Amino acid sequence: MTRVGVLALQGDVREHARVLAARGADVVLVRRPEELAAVGGLVIPGGESSVIDKLARVFGLQQPIRDAIAGGMPVYGTCAGLILLADRITDGIAGQESFGGLDITVQRNAFGSQVDSFETALEVDGFDTPTHATFIRAPRVVEVGPAARAIATLSDDAGGAVVAVTQGNLLGTAFHPEVSGETRFHDLFLQRVRAA
């Protein structure tokens, strides 16, 4: 059984844990460095990126997560998780940091507030059929550096923003597959964990 972690400091932890367990993974809720050391991959959930950043530092997880990313651990970030994997944030709050790893620049809450949340069908490189994507106070990728690759972009009439990227063993989506019944991103993540 593949043992993976969900960073359990804040956000939609249960939703990711449920999807991963249903896909056959042994799920560990990661709140301490020793729990991170016991898993082969990590999901960083949606939530408040600035709060997760602060709590990761309080719980001594920031550097261990950075080290795990640098060491090649597969990591999947959704929404706030995408922000935390980005090397650059255009509009972070004062002092906000990320774990980094994805050669991208992100803008937080790029589509507006909670009331501006939306759903759409989205073409994803490598998927045979469109994914149902749920955007909740979502970020967008405003720049993709040469090391990263965009795998999903909104249609021009929806703004044309890059909303999913990959780089090595890292995967990030601006939307929430875990709330819409979409499992292919988690499957891709688990494949990478098994391969690593």
Tens digit of each residue's pLDDT (9 = 90 or more) over 82-122: 999 999 999 888 899 999 999 999 999 877 677 678 889 99
Q: Which of 16, 35, 48, 79 is catalytic?
A: 79
Q: What pLDDT sits at residue 158?
A: 60
Choosing from 16, 35, 48, 176, the catalytic residue is 176
pLDDT, the chain, mean: 94
- Residue 15 appears among annotated catalytic residues: no
CATH number of 3-195: 3.40.50.880
Our measurement of the distance from residue 191's CA atom to the centroid of its chain's CA atoms, rounded to an integer in Å, reads 16
Percent of the chain with pLDDT over 90: 85
**97 has catalytic annotation:** no
Average pLDDT of the residues in 11-34: 97
The Cα 147–Cα 155 span in angstroms is 23
Q: What is the pLDDT of residue 157?
A: 64
Structure tokens at 96: 């906000």
The span from the CA of 138 to the CA of 46, in Å, is 9
Instruction: State the catalytic residue, choosing from 48, 178, 182, 186.
Output: 178
Q: Is 182 a catalytic residue?
A: no
1 or 164: whose pLDDT is higher?
Answer: 164
Q: How do 26-30 and 149-153 pair as beta strands? A: unpaired
